[in-house]
Structure 1
Amino acid sequence: MKKFIRRDPQHRDQVPFLQLLPNLVTLSGMCLGLTSIRFSMDGRYDGAALLLLLAALMDGLDGLLARRLNATSNFGAELDSLSDFLCFGVAPGLLIYRFFLEPSNNFGWIFVLVFAAACCLRLARFNVMRDENAAETSHHFLGVPAPAAAMLGLLPLFVSLAGVVDLRPVPHLVAFWLGFVGVLMISRLRTFSPKAMRIPRALVGLMMFATVVAVGLMFTRIWLLLTALDLIYLAMLGHAALQARRPGDE
């Protein structure tokens, strides 16, 4: 026997705030990406990079909130992809162009376009795969995710701001690096997903100590910290590539 529930006409067209919260976080991240572009145009490169870092944190937060609050929707997924393209495809490319590639003129701009196009293709592929085989892709990503690719694309900026080496005299090298990161985004390389990460018990203490060191560097040498994190992630990508090339692996 079906049970009919009478809806209150006063609440029929109302949406609970908690259901809307993930989308508000996504829009906030998009605003950070747009402001990063403005900072790049004004020559405030360190502020632009920090805003992109905050946008990446927002990108992780909105998905977490949507799952925890049971507020996932196709609308939210599409909004997230549009925000990701702006924050992690367009804004990093413009930042790198302004800081490094303007002296190279059209040559550097070509690789900015390659990076942005790769991000767009990667997000489109992710949307399709999310619907077709979500269970299979929940434990790994195909290609480097857009937020991680943005941080990798900004590695030359992190290195320069950290005082390790100034790469502005070699804009062509930076342009090739940006194009290489774009290739990583649309590659078939299986990269790890945070959902599938497992930490051996013997390394728990080391991870906690490393977290304390990272927090300390965040407030003292943040560009050096971001450089180190990028290099660690590159090492993990290299390990994943070697695993994929083993005989018998698909």
Structure 2
Amino acid sequence: MARDPQHRDQLPFLQLLPNLVTISGMCLGLTSIRFAMDERFETAALLILLSALIDGLDGLIARRLNATSEFGAELDSLSDFLCFGVAPGVLVYQYALGETHSLGWIFVLIFAASTCMRLARFNVMRGESEETARHFIGVPAPAGALLGLLPVYLSLAGVLDMRLVPALVALWLGFVGLLMISRLKTFSPKAVKVPRGMVGILLMATVVGIGLVFTRIWLLLVLVDLAYVVMLAPAIIRSRGRLFS
């Protein structure tokens, strides 16, 4: 029996859901740029954080619904470049690098270009699932975006006003860009296994984390960034400066 032509021109909504989530994340990244240009920096930073959460969600939804596709993968990469390369760079520039003029913008370009190359390498290595399941090669783009925003978090948390040292902010942004395109083996959540004795501690840590989200979110993000840097430190030390080999 021939299939109804009308049915061939229709897609189940659940097949489109991951792409709709990806587009939502892209809209958050674009809106973050708008708020950064309006100097509403807290809102801009929060939108990038939300886009990072959505980035993890769309892939999970696609796998659970068996709705992965080449189109969705490419759409996700383009959205990631906007949300984790362009938006954080613009935010940091508007917040702390405006007074440096061309010099600060050069480091923003380095950061954005590094994000682009990191995503391109991820696409090329997408088929090597066994390797990427154990670790990432280089700092992933979402983590790179959150690390790049560390100067903003420090200022908003009241720890240190990084606008007083724009040169240091620019160097930090460039350093994070280099970490993204490095050959360092970095933390992958897929490889984490929690001992049974640590389950209760992890649950209570989650409670504390949720409390900080609603009371001292910028301080929490500072602590998360610093913890990630501490995790990276052994790999950086072992590399002895050979980050790209």
Q: What is residue 75 of structure 2 aligned with on the other side?
A: 79
2:44 corresponds to 1:48: yes
Deviation for aligned residue 1:240? 3.8
Mapped partners of 2:96, 2:56: distance in 1: 29
2:162 corresponds to 1:167: yes
Deviation for aligned residue 1:122? 0.5
- Give deviations 1:112-158, integer Å, cap 9, x for gaps: 00000000000001100113x23322221100000000000000100
- Give deviations 1:29-79, integer Å, cap 9, x for gaps: 000000000000000000000000000011000000000000001100000
Which structure 2 residues correspond to residues 62-73 of structure 1 after superposition, within 5 A?
A: 62-73=58-69
Q: What is residue 128 of structure 1 aligned with on the other side?
A: 124
Cα separation, partners in 2 of 1:243 and 1:202, compared to 1, 3 Å: farther
User: Which of 153, 157, 179 pairs up with 2:152?
Assistant: 157
Runs of 4+ in 1 over 4 A off after TM superposition: 242-245
Which structure 2 residues correspond to residues 174-185 of structure 1 after superposition, within 5 A?
A: 174-185=169-180
Of 227-236 and 89-98, the range deviating more from structure 2:
227-236
Of 133-142 and 56-65, the range deviating more from structure 2:
133-142
In the alignment, residue 229 of structure 1 is paired with which amino acid? V
Q: What is residue 29 of structure 2 aligned with on the other side?
A: 33
In the alignment, residue 93 of structure 1 is paired with which amino acid? G
2:229 corresponds to 1:238: no
Mapped partners of 1:32, 1:139: distance in 2: 30
Mapped partners of 2:234, 2:206: distance in 1: 22
Deviation for aligned residue 1:199? 1.5
In the alignment, residue 65 of structure 1 is paired with which amino acid? I
Mapped partners of 1:6, 1:51: distance in 2: 48
Deviation for aligned residue 1:238? 1.5
CA RMSD of aligned residues (A): 1.5
Q: What is residue 210 of structure 2 aligned with on the other side?
A: 215
SS at match of 2:21: helix
In the alignment, residue 146 of structure 2 is paired with which amino acid? M
User: Which of 68, 85, 90 pairs up with 2:86?
Assistant: 90
Unpaired runs of 5+ residues, structure 1, are: none
Q: What is residue 57 of structure 1 aligned with on the other side?
A: 53
For the pair shown, the structure with the greater C-alpha radius of gyration is 1
Mapped partners of 2:239, 2:166: distance in 1: 32
In the alignment, residue 17 of structure 2 is paired with which amino acid? L
In the alignment, residue 125 of structure 1 is paired with which amino acid? R
2:82 corresponds to 1:100: no
Q: What is residue 185 of structure 2 aligned with on the other side?
A: 190
Q: What is residue 148 of structure 1 aligned with on the other side?
A: 143
Number of aligned residue pairs: give it.
Answer: 241
In the alignment, residue 75 of structure 2 is paired with which amino acid? L
Q: What is residue 23 of structure 1 aligned with on the other side?
A: 19
| TM-score after normalising by structure 1 | 0.93
Deviation for aligned residue 1:193? 1.2
Amino-acid identity (%) = 70
